[in-house]
Structure 1
Amino acid sequence: MPMKQDRRLRVGVLGCGPIAQAAHFESCTKAHNADLYAICDVADDLRARMAATYAPQKSFADYDAMLADPDLEAVIIATSDPFHVPAAIRALGAGKHVLCEKPVATSVEAVEELKAAVVKSGLVLQVGHMKRFDPGLQAARDFIDDGMGALVALKAWYCDSTHRYPMTDAVQPLMVTSKAAKKPSVDPKSNLDRYYMLAHGSHLVDTARYFGGDLVAVDARQSQRGGMRCWFVDVEFANSVLGHLDLTVAVRMDWHEGFQIYGENGSILGKTFNPWYYKSSEVDIFHESEGGSRRVLGADGHFYRRQLEGFADVILDGAPMRGADIDDGIASVRAMVAIAESVRSGKPVHLDEVSGEV
């Protein structure tokens, strides 16, 4: 791992649940420009276990007490989705920068309320779409920006696998749980259409936008058969690029995620792996002028650590935002709401016409 810098962002993690244990605690300890300064969770037993494991400087049971600490500079919000917006607004109000897990919100109104708080604060808010820090995806984006010429069409797919848990259980740390953990009033998995769209569809939508730019309309269909849920979504980009998205949970095969992009001067074919393997996407970039393809090795595939380092670079050094900002968060939520509405209505839906929850 890279050596720690002398000046490092002091980060507090809100929530000691699975995503913090699998990704954010380790990212803070490994990042060259950030430290795990504090952790916060209402569950005393869980918080004590994580403090003993990851050794933050401070540990808090009360979120407002953590936010009141003058040495804390930024917060990673690693809670359940319904808690994201209230927690982010409180952090911004306390003068702390925010890296918030995706999806940043579950409704259009909530994410627009959060944008108002971001603008008022003048602080940095980055949405945790960590795939933007996959070196393979970054190489593809670089070719789109400088070499591909006019973008013509994009296809992307995110197909969870029935075998994902044996895969992830083998590589993730054993998750520590607590009966005292704070949970949403409604079980997120009580509506699987909504749960899968928020958990997985948010990745697919953001990847499409990362490559193709702003989405303006979607035309979605969904099928449920054989215990599988499948969304096929035709998308319209603002630049007139054609697109097609496939979200399927869960395929009877290996994890199946990737993209194909066609352009004036070349094409891109990408295969993305289960994120917990921390393996960069295999991306073949075909240059028409050379009649051949190139592939970036992408040896550093720790997307979560890389996204934290990018977040810290913006705050500490004024670097350009390479991650997803609040406008990307708004666009992602609007797209997911539009997809759900298109499935219900059987008609195309424009993103600027939607409101309400996913």
Structure 2
Amino acid sequence: MITKDARRLRVGILGCGPIAQFAHLDACVKARNADLYAICDAAPDLLARMAATYEPTRTFADYDAMLADPDVEAVIIAVSDAYHVPMAMRALEAGKHVLCEKPIGTSVAEGEALRDAVNRSGRSLQVGHMKRFDPGLEAARDFVRDEMGELLALKAWYCDSTHRYTNTDAVQPLPVTSKLARKPSGNPKADLAQYFMLAHGSHLVDTARFLCGEITEVRARLSTRFGAYCWFVETSFANGTLGHLDLTVAVRMDWHEGFQLYGEHGSILAKTYNPWFYRSSDVEIFSEKDATYRRPLGADGHFFRRQLEGFAEAVLDGAPMRGADVEDGLASIRAMVAIAQSVRSGDSVRLADVTGAV
């Protein structure tokens, strides 16, 4: 049984497409400290179907009308990447808190403009890097923070699988779609390197930053063969840690994601599962002080619900934001732009120097 808190954040979701259906609608229904107050979509048939299924208090066909509702306290932006920044900025200007799907934007200029809008608004903005709410990764981060001492090296990989849809189609409901859905101009998959970096590389970069802190410089190579894309990225962190990031789409094997992290007082080995399995990462933490391993169970693997609850705690209770904030989102954009520029030039690229788009 789901037990709800007495005071709950009233949330409006923009967009009723697949990511909302697979993640955010369910998260709002299940979150202990948030409610699905409103949904908004330009497609009337899709809006009606989701309203009948999830029974929000209000439905809107017009985004500005939802933002004008004083009872909407926060908005989840669950639409295409091209709409993230403008829709988030309109919500902030209307005085709403924002939880926005990743990536927060597609260019450094967009990220900087959104950061400035957040600072002007006085409202909270959290980026949907839900892997920060994976209990296994949280346990790893806690060990890094509290016991690991100086970090030496990180090896992290995010390898999508040719069999991912065979797996996910078996566990996900068929998404409800509409011919009236509003889509950005152009084909987001026209440039697959950019598309894969934004969709998958953003997760890999944020996980690396979550564990090891600020990335200062990258040197990247890209190989494309038989329809597959593979980035190897040498990574320098501000704390002196060396990194190697592997982004491959798609490997001819099962989903392959995880990391190894070596430090002064221990090491961590992690295996991460396809997020739609809602399964916490398997994490083995070795502590040098007593030469023992421990492996957190992490039974609660609903990352999307957990990220919404963390967001609501920050808004309602003034708790520190546990998720990625707008500065984290901007740093991810800078890292992805730097990787793309390094691939083109063959040189190392400092994140502080980059401009332009991914």
Fold shared per TM-score above 0.5: yes
Which residue is 1:125 aligned to? 125
Find the residue that maps to 2:50 and give its secondary structure.
helix
Shift of 1:2: 4.4
Distance 2:47 2:53 in 1: 10
Shift of 1:172: 1.2
Distance 2:2 2:41 in 1: 29
| Identity score, percent | 71
Distance 2:92 2:191 in 1: 31
Find the residue that maps to 1:254 and give its secondary structure.
coil
Which residue is 2:213 aligned to? 213
Shift of 1:226: 2.1
Which residue is 2:187 aligned to? 187
Which residue is 1:246 aligned to? 246
Find the residue that maps to 2:323 and give its secondary structure.
coil
What is the total number of aligned residue pairs between the two structures? 358
Distance 1:307 1:173 in 2: 22
Which residue is 1:203 aligned to? 203
Distance 2:208 2:306 in 1: 20
User: What residue identity is the alignment partner of 1:260?
Assistant: Q
Which residue is 1:137 aligned to? 137
User: What residue identity is the alignment partner of 2:228?
Assistant: M
Give the 5 Å matches for 1:48-87.
48-87=48-87
Distance 2:2 2:36 in 1: 16
Q: Normalized against structure 2, the TM-score is what?
A: 0.99
Which residue is 2:159 aligned to? 159
Give the 5 Å matches for 1:280-291.
280-291=280-291
Shift of 1:241: 0.6
Give the 5 Å matches for 1:312-327.
312-327=312-327
Which residue is 2:95 aligned to? 95
Distance 2:170 2:63 in 1: 33
Find the residue that maps to 2:180 and give its secondary structure.
coil
Runs of 5+ unmatched residues, structure 1: none
Which residue is 2:356 aligned to? 356
Find the residue that maps to 1:85 and give its secondary structure.
helix
Which residue is 2:270 aligned to? 270
Distance 1:232 1:2 in 2: 43
Which residue is 2:148 aligned to? 148
Which residue is 2:236 aligned to? 236
Distance 1:292 1:227 in 2: 43
Distance 1:99 1:12 in 2: 10
Deviations 1:101-142 (A, max 9, x none): 000000000110001100000100000000000000000000
Find the residue that maps to 1:188 and give its secondary structure.
coil
Find the residue that maps to 1:190 and give its secondary structure.
coil
User: What residue identity is the alignment partner of 1:174?
Assistant: L
Find the residue that maps to 2:321 and give its secondary structure.
coil
Which 4+ runs in 1 deviate beyond 2 A? none
Instruction: Tell which deviates more after alignment, 163-172 or 247-256.
Output: 163-172
Runs of 5+ unmatched residues, structure 2: none
Deviations 1:202-234 (A, max 9, x none): 000000000010000000000011221000000
Distance 1:326 1:76 in 2: 14
Which residue is 1:31 aligned to? 31
Shift of 1:313: 0.2
Shift of 1:158: 0.2
Distance 2:344 2:208 in 1: 22
